[in-house]
Structure formats: structure tokens, C-alpha cells
């Protein structure tokens, strides 16, 4: 198949013939990715109110000293397990740089340049740009430059700054860009190529997250042509590996929060290849010709083979962002979610949808932007666009701001979604929204949550409306997945599942014979049946042998009148009563559950003392666990209850 864009149609299967790539003009860093900071585009094309927002955002950092990151705080991760203290200091310093740079781009008067130059000096003097949780030693070593997420992301911030302000840096001193290039070489360019890092073959966020930032460094700063060719080949191969690892339904088993650094970062890799000149040679793109066809970069076409199934997979990976959208800014938050609202970032959702020509995604991006005030106070969104502001993403977004302004905003209120590989069903009926998951307990950022479901509903008990009602402004969490608290050394250790948020007893799941689910890929659900609005899973396989369960068929059905849940199970031995857990923020949530008192008894307990600061910010100060205890001692039983 002739291909107009090597990357977008996944021409990653083509690893050979890279010798001439390094010499090709399509990898010349002088290519017009977007205008430099001194170009009038930024003052003429960005609306005044938006520009003023960015300028005011940067002004708060004028004259502020640059923090020297303390080694004693870095060492806390190895000493006490705390990683947050250092991350807060580290990320705030990078936020300071990102704010100043954007302010200078928007104003263009040089008022912020002194602070930016001093900041560059401070960054160049940091021993290592990553975070202690990803480092093998208690304090950073100059000679040990590990390429982790935030070493790479800091490097990306610096190289985009260098790209935009190169003329201003050279006017200050030609030595500044040379120093930046040396730092990027020793911290990223050399170690990333030379070392066989595990993330290069990973099917999770580390792979594209690092590759997207690494590629920016290569294209902007790499002077060694042989190493440039090698890096491009490795990035291409790593990205293909990531795509191949994903299921055909495009589902992100890490959850919507990590989609932003999984499929979205994959898109950044594809986009960078595109704007540096790799285009398709015909129209057999299956609709994936958005940005490539609109690019002003002139370059030679490439011809490679590509499987249509890969094209569809990329589309599905993108659409996951809106397929897991609940409404009222909420999204489904299975696995390690650090947010349950405002997860999808405008500066990546809209460009991704625009590139793919996915109308639903474009409209979703426009909706998110308008609702969150991107045309009046974009700096507020920029500030929250990552662990620190994502400068490169913001610049690409602003490059096409006029398309965004013209876009019709629309909330993607999908009635039914089914991701068969991930085994996730969502359904919207009446004023209720439900999401249920199967899968395994060996997923990335896994919680033991096979068979769990969440429910969002209006806070009051007003009657339900039509079969499909878009009253999303009233939706709020009713039965929840607690998400994950602050990351510590324990979170990614052998003791991960001693953390309460990882355990099935704190998800909306049965506890069988006093036994909870077990972690591991072999502990999985089986899909018994699915149709729109109804999913039946046998979740017995998610429990260890001690649970003595032969089958546990859980059916969740979304109806106009509410949600029906059926537990149809068979035990090999009855040892103690089964308990059905339901997590909620509402102390009166029992009023929403209707059951036969001959079958079940109900209690509610306050678990608020388990909430750390992150979870309190996410959910508020209170959380409760409802326990429905099965009264029957029979080995075979069938229970039904409804949520209204």
C-alpha cells in the first residue's frame, strides 16, 4: 500500500535503509515546525486575551530565585519511601521555566529572558534531571545518567525552549546553546542510544512517553549523524513495539489518566516524524491523513507496507479518550488514577483528533477547551497539562488555534461502549452511568479489581428521565473505584498489594469465603455474555483456591429504571458468608440500593481515615464502604439487587 505518511499508517515495520535518513533535509532542525519566538505569528495569531493569560502566568515568576534541589530530599525515597517531597520541588522548578518561556513567546519583548537564561544555567548544573523513584542510588551521580520519564521530559522542555529562543540565547552568548547541546548529549542522546533499556520493548506508558521526548531531543539537538540515524531507528522500533502490544480495541489498561502518556505520547512520536517530512504517497490512508495533508513542510514521500488493522488500532487507541468519558468532566478511573476529573488534556486531545480527522474527538477537544476556559485563561490549563506544563504540546496546539476556535464543541455522551479485549463495558441509561471491567489482575498499574463496576448518578433522588438522557451536569460519583493515593516506594514494590487501594475488598466486588482476589495475570475474568447495556462475567478465576469458588457469574444491566446486579454463584465449600462491597462517598448511599432483606443484610463503615492527601483532594474528606452480607449458607445461590 502506498503511504503518504510513514508514521501515521504505522510504517514502523520498516527498520532498514536508514543510512540516507540522516543526510535528508526532512531531519534538518531548521525545518519550520512552528514559528520561533521572535516571529509575529505569536502576537498576531493568538487572541489577545489568551496571550495576556500566558504573560500574567509568567510574571509571577519574574525575579524568583531558581531552586537548588537538595540531595537530602532526593535521598528520602531510599530512606523513608517518600518520593513526593522531591517531586514537588522538582516539578515546580520546571513549571517556573515553562511559564517564563511561554510568557516570553507571547510578549516578545525580552522581559523574561534574564530569568530564563539563569534558569538554563541552573538546569545545566543539576546533577540529574529525573526523580529518585527511578534512580538506583540515594543521591544522583554525574556519571550515571539514567533515561527515565522525567529526565526525558525535562530534556524536552529544555530543547523546545532552545528551539524557540535560539536567536535570543545566541544574542546573550553563543556558548549557551552549545552548553545546552552538550547537556542533552550526555544526559539523553548518548545513554538512550547506547543502553538496552527495558522500556524500549514495553507496552505501557514509559515507552512512548520517553520516546516522544527523546525524539524531540534528537531532531533539535543531535549533531552526530550516525547516532541520529540509530536513534530514529530505535524510536521507530520501540513505538512499533508499543503499538503491537496494544489490544485491537485500543484500550489502555493503565486507565484514562495514563492514556495521556501512552497513546497520546505515541501520537507525539508520529506527529514529529510527520512534520519533519515523512508523508504518504497516495490517499489509501483510511482517513488518517489529517495533519500530514495539512502540513506545509515539503518532503519526499516514502513507500512501505502497512496492515490496515494497525491503522484501525491507532484510531481505537485515540478514541479511548472519549469512550471512557462519563460527563460533567468525570472519566472512568480504573487502575492507578490520580485524577477523576479533567484528565484529558485539551492541548493533546484536540490536535490528536484533528490529525486523525476524528470528528468526535475534535469536538470533544473543543468542548473541553471551551468548558475549561482555554480561550480566556489558557495558562490555567497549561499549568495543569502535566506534572509540569507541557511546552511542546502547547506550542503545537497554538499553531492551529484558529482551527480550534472554529470547531463546534460537543460532549461525547456515548450511550454504549464495549472494549472486548480490555473487557470494559460502559452504558448510559436514564440519568445513570455505569462502567464495568473484567480483564486480569496482571494489568499495568494493576489493582485487584476484576469484575468491579462504578456508577455515576444525580446527587438527588429525582425520577429518572428518558432511556438516554444527556443530563451530565448532574452526574456525580455514587459507587466508585477509590483510585490510588500518593506514590511511594511501596507502590511499585513486592508489597504493592498490602496497600488498601489495590485490594479487591476496597472495590465494588465480592469477598468470597473471607478471601479477596489475587494479583497476577492468571487471575482473570471470563466473558459469559455481552450486549449493549449488559455484561455477564465469571469472576471466579480472579480468586485463589482458598476462596473455594467454582463459578461466580456477575451480571450488570443498565436500564431506564436503574441498574440491576445479579450474583449467580457456586462454591465448592461454604466456609463463611460472602460479602458484597460497595465503595461510596455518600453516607446515605444505602437508600439507592434495593435488595431482598431475606437474602442480604447491610452495614456501612467509615473508611475516611485511610485517605491520604491526594485521595482527599480527589474525593473529599469522607469515604465509606457498604457491606452487603449474604445470609444463605448454600453452596449454590443467586442474588439480585438494584441501584436507582
Angle formed at CA 204 by CA 428 and CA 264, multiple of 5 degrees: 60
What per-residue string of b and e applies to 28-66 under the rule 16 or more CB within 10 Å gives b? ebebebbebbeeeebeeebeeebbbbbbebbeebeeeeb
Residue 265 has pLDDT above 70, yes or no: yes
Mean pLDDT check: name the lowest of 4-18, 30-44, 228-242, 488-502.
Answer: 4-18
pLDDT score for 341: 83
pLDDT band at 307 (very low <50, low <70, confident <90, very high): low
Higher-confidence residue: 602 or 339? 602
Torsions phi, psi for 351 (to 5 deg): -60, -35
Angle at 256 between CA 250 and CA 258, to 5 degrees: 95
pLDDT band for 291, please (50, 70, 90 cuts).
very low
Residue 335's pLDDT band (boundaries 50, 70, 90)? confident
What is the tens place of the pLDDT at every residue in 475-484?
A: 999 999 999 9
Which single residue is written with the C-alpha cell 425520577? Answer: 463
Give the least confident one: 88-92, 95-99, 230-234: 230-234
Is pLDDT at 179 greater than 60 in this prediction?
yes
Band the pLDDT of 276: cuts 50, 70, 90.
confident
The mean pLDDT of 79-98, rounded to a whole number, is 97
Q: How far apart are CA 453 and CA 424, in angstroms?
A: 9
Q: Which three cell numbers stand for residue 198?
A: 527495558
Mean pLDDT of all residues in 15-34: 42
C-alpha cell read off for 87: 517531586
What is the three-class DSSP state of 565? Answer: strand
Q: Quick one: how far is CA 611 from the chain centroid?
A: 23
Nearest to 529 by CA among 438, 455, 448: 438
Answer left, alpha or beta for residue 328, where phi above 0 means left and psi between -120 and 50 means alpha: left
Is the separation of the CB atoms in 100 and 61 below 8 Å? yes
Q: Sorting pLDDT into bands at 50, 70 and 90, what band is 12?
A: very low
Return the HEC string of 67-80. Answer: CCCCHHHHCHHHHC
The whole-number average pLDDT for the span 380-386 is 96
Listed by start position, the domains of the chain span: 416-643
Q: Would you say residue 296 has pLDDT above 90?
A: no
DSSP structure class, residue 617: H
Decide: 512 and 571 in contact? Cβ < 8 Å: yes
Burial class (CB in 10 A: 0-12, 13-18, 19+), 78: middle
Cell output for 69: 534541589
Report the top-level CATH class of 416-643: mainly beta
DSSP-derived letter for residue 188 is: I
Q: What is the mean pLDDT of the chain?
A: 89
CB 523 within 8 A of CB 517: yes
Neighbouring-strand partners of residue 629 = 579, 601
pLDDT at 46: 97
Nearest CA to 202 out of 266, 270, 154, 273 is that of: 266
Cα 528 to chain centroid, rounded: 30
- b (16+ CB within 10 A) / e for 394-417: bbbbbbbbeebeebeeebebbebb
Q: Report angle CA 634, 639, 641 to the nearest 5 degrees.
A: 155
Q: So what's the pLDDT on residue 486? A: 94
- Which range is least confidently modeled, 146-155, 386-395, 463-472, 492-501? 463-472
Cα angle for residues 618, 621, 626 (degrees, 5° grid)? 95
**What value does the mean pLDDT take over residues 395-404?**
96
Amino acid at each position: 500500500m502506498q503511504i503518504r505518511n510513514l508514521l501515521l499508517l504505522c510504517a514502523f515495520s520498516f527498520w532498514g535503509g536508514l543510512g540516507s535518513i540522516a543526510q535528508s533535509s526532512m531531519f534538518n532542525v531548521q525545518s519550520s515546525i512552528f514559528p520561533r519566538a521572535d516571529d509575529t505569528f505569536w502576537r498576531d495569531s493568538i487572541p489577545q486575551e489568551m496571550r495576556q493569560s500566558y504573560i500574567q502566568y509568567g510574571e509571577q515568576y519574574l525575579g524568583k530565585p531558581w531552586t537548588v534541589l537538595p540531595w537530602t530530599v532526593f535521598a528520602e525515597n531510599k530512606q523513608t519511601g517518600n518520593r513526593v517531597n522531591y517531586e514537588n520541588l522538582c516539578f515546580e522548578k520546571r513549571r517556573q521555566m515553562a511559564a517564563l518561556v511561554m510568557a516570553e513567546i507571547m510578549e516578545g519583548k525580552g522581559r523574561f529572558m534574564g530569568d530564563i537564561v539563569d534558569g538554563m544555567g541552573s538546569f545545566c548544573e543539576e546533577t540529574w534531571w529525573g526523580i529518585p523513584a527511578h534512580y538506583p542510588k540515594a543521591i544522583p551521580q554525574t556519571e550515571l545518567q539514567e533515561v527515565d520519564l522525567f529526565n526525558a521530559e525535562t530534556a524536552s522542555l529544555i530543547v523546545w525552549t532552545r528551539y524557540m529562543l535560539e536567536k535570543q540565547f545566541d544574542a546573550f552568548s553563543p556558548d549557551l546553546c552549545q552548553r545546552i547541546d552538550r547537556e542533552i548529549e550526555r544526559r539523553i542522546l548518548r545513554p538512550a542510544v547506547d543502553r538496552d533499556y527495558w522500556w524500549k520493548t514495553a507496552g505501557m506508558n514509559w515507552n512512548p512517553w520517553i520516546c516522544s521526548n527523546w525524539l524531540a531531543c534528537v531532531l533539535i539537538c543531535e549533531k552526530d549523524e550516525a547516532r541520529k540515524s540509530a536513534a530514529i531507528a530505535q524510536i521507530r522500533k520501540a513505538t512499533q513495539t508499543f503499538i503491537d502490544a496494544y489490544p485491537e480495541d485500543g484500550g489502555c489498561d493503565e486507565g484514562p489518566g495514563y492514556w495521556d502518556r501512552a497513546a497520546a505520547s505515541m501520537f507525539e512520536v508520529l506527529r514529529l516524524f510527520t512534520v519533519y517530512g515523512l508523508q504518504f504517497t497516495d490517499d489509501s490512508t483510511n482517513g488518517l491523513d489529517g495533519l500530514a495533508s495539512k502540513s506545509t513542510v515539503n518532503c519526499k514521500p516514502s513507500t512501505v507496507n502497512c496492515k490496515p488493522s494497525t491503522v484501525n488500532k491507532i484510531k481505537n487507541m485515540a478514541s479511548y479518550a472519549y469512550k471512557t468519558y462519563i460527563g460533567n468532566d468525570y472519566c472512568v478511573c480504573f487502575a492507578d488514577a490520580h485524577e477523576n476529573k479533567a484528565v484529558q488534556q485539551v492541548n493533546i486531545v484536540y490536535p490528536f483528533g484533528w490529525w486523525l480527522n476524528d470528528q468526535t474527538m475534535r469536538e470533544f477537544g473543543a468542548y473541553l477547551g471551551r468548558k475549561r476556559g482555554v480561550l480566556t485563561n489558557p495558562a490555567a490549563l497549561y499549568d495543569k497539562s502535566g506534572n509540569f506544563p507541557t511546552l511542546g504540546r502547547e506550542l503545537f496546539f497554538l499553531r492551529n488555534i484558529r482551527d480550534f476556535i472554529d470547531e463546534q464543541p460537543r460532549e461525547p455522551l456515548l450511550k454504549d461502549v464495549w472494549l472486548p479485549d480490555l473487557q470494559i463495558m460502559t452504558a448510559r441509561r436514564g440519568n445513570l452511568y455505569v462502567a464495568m471491567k473484567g480483564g486480569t489482575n496482571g494489568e499495568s498499574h494493576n489493582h485487584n479489581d476484576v469484575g468491579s463496576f462504578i456508577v455515576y448518578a444525580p446527587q438527588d433522588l429525582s425520577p429518572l428521565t428518558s432511556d438516554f438522557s444527556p443530563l451530565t451536569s448532574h452526574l456525580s460519583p455514587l459507587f466508585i473505584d477509590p483510585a490510588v493515593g500518593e506514590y511511594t516506594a511501596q507502590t511499585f514494590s513486592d508489597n504493592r498489594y498490602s496497600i488498601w487501594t489495590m485490594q479487591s475488598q476496597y472495590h465494588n466486588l465480592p469477598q468470597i469465603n473471607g478471601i479477596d482476589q489475587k494479583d497476577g495475570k492468571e487471575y482473570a475474568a471470563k466473558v459469559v455474555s455481552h450486549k449493549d447495556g449488559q455484561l455477564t462475567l465469571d469472576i471466579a478465576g480472579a480468586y485463589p483456591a482458598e476462596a473455594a469458588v467454582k463459578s461466580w457469574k456477575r451480571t450488570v444491566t443498565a436500564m431506564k429504571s436503574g441498574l440491576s446486579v445479579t450474583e449467580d454463584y457456586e462454591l465448592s465449600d461454604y466456609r463463611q458468608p460472602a460479602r458484597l462491597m460497595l465503595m461510596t462517598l455518600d453516607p446515605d448511599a444505602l437508600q439507592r440500593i434495593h435488595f431482598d432483606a431475606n437474602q442480604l443484610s447491610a452495614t456501612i463503615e467509615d473508611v475516611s481515615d485511610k485517605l491520604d492527601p491526594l485521595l482527599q483532594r480527589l474525593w473529599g474528606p469522607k469515604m465509606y464502604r457498604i457491606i452487603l452480607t449474604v445470609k444463605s449458607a448454600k453452596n449454590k445461590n443467586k442474588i439480585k439487587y438494584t441501584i436507582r
